[in-house]
Amino acid sequence: YQLQAFFSASVLILEVPSGYLSDLLGRKGTIIAASFFHGLGFTLFAFADSIWAFLLFEFILALGVSLFSGTDVALLYDSLDAVGDVEGQSKLMGKKVLYYQLGETIAALLGGVLASYYLDLPVQVHAVTAWIPFLLAFSLTEPHREKMDKTTHKENALKIWRHLFIDSPLIRLIMINGMIYGTATLVAVWSFQEHWRIIGVDLKYFGFLWAAINLVVGLSATLANRMEKSLGGASSLVIMGILPIIGYFGMGFFPTFIGILFCFCFQMCRGINMVLIRDAMNARVGGEMRATANSLVSLGTRVAFIIMGPFMGWMMDRPEIGMKAYMVFGFIFVLIFIFVLLPLVAKKAEFRPPS
């Protein structure tokens, strides 16, 4: 948790400037730079042999993640805006998440197989494959879009702040819920391996479990658009908000193999969040500030994780608390559901963005 907190702190510093850079200078160049740091980070990770080396790896990876964060989604929505396919945005967002998670699923399965030979092999293989996105990034095509003035940074910042947090209460609630429910899944996911270790899952099965939970994210994201159309936006958000509550209480009540089933609740929440909340925000934000808006959501998630992640780790490391940590977080997210999500649900009349 301490290393992940450092990673989150690094992204915290770099997140918004990198999103603003993407809005100001362009998506393609930003993704190329992000892919370069991604490859460099995992190459260095293969040679890391001290806490300082791991910290360097986390910082370089944070550079890549912060540059990539928000830019990929912004490029997707910019492209759909350019071809006039507004209706297909949330559907394609679901497919994006599915393809991403399928990649992670395959990697988890391969990682488990490679780790069965010896633990360093997945790291060594990843040091090579991590450069593939860097090569692919040069083939991207960036559509024309409106951009902010490159010389009026203060005015640009005020414009972004007013649009996202002052002028529209709906957009403000969308962004806050995106941050909080992103944190709900992030804290849980980083506790999964410790949870599996405590209940006695053999290390060789970790890769298969990661594959399963990643696949659930992709499938949930793919179905999120259909769920919204059939149940409505309000009901879909309620389901998203209840899932982490069930997950935390379930893992706390059942410190056995049954508890693994509740891990999937967080992944379903994550898939729904990545489509419904992100689509609701990106459909209401112009291309001139879209990457910055996405980066701000990621920033808020990282800030919350810096606080809540080590707290979860501290509780789980205490024998007298252990799995009861999940119960504590269950109660926390009951309060969040009431005081943060329900105010957004109350604005259901404004959910569908204007065409």
What pLDDT does 30 receive? 93
The tally of domains found in the chain comes to 1
What pLDDT does 182 receive? 94
89 lies in some domain: yes
103 lies in some domain: yes
Expressed as residue numbers, the domain containing 92 is 2-140+169-346
162 lies in some domain: no
Per residue of the chain (355 residues), give pLDDT as tens: 567 778 877 877 888 888 888 998 889 999 999 999 999 999 988 888 888 888 888 899 999 988 988 899 999 889 888 887 766 677 788 888 889 888 878 887 788 788 888 888 888 898 999 999 999 999 999 988 888 777 788 888 899 999 999 999 999 999 999 999 999 999 999 889 888 988 888 887 887 888 888 889 999 999 998 898 889 889 999 999 999 999 999 999 988 888 899 999 999 999 999 999 999 999 889 888 999 999 999 889 888 888 888 888 888 888 778 788 999 999 999 999 999 999 999 987 776 544 4
148 lies in some domain: no
Q: 346 phi and psi, to 5 degrees?
A: -65, -20
What pLDDT does 87 receive? 66
What pLDDT does 207 receive? 75
What pLDDT does 354 receive? 41
158 lies in some domain: no
What pLDDT does 242 receive? 97
Q: What is the CATH number of the domain that holds 123?
A: 1.20.1250.20
Q: How far apart are CA 228 and CA 102, in angstroms?
A: 23
217 lies in some domain: yes
234 lies in some domain: yes
Q: How far apart are CA 185 and CA 350, in angstroms?
A: 26
What pLDDT does 291 receive? 92
73 lies in some domain: yes
- Three-state SS sequence of the chain: CHHHHHHHHHHHHHHHHHHHHHHHHCHHHHHHHHHHHHHHHHHHHCCCCCHHHHHHHHHHHHHHHHHHCCHHHHHHHHHHHHHCCCCCHHHHHHHHHHHHHHHHHHHHHHHHHHHHHCCCHHHHHHHHHCCHHHHHHCCCCCCCCCCCCCCCHHHHHHHHHHHHHHCCHHHHHHHHHHHHHHHHHHHHHCCHHHHHHHHCCCHHHHHHHHHHHHHHHHHHHHHHHHHHHHHCHHHHHHHHHHHHHHHHHHHHHCCCCCHHHHHHHHHHHHHHHHHHHHHHHHCCCCCCCHHHHHHHHHHHHHHHHHHHHHHHHHHHHCCCCCCHHHHHHHHHHHHHHHHHHHHHHCCHHHCCCCC
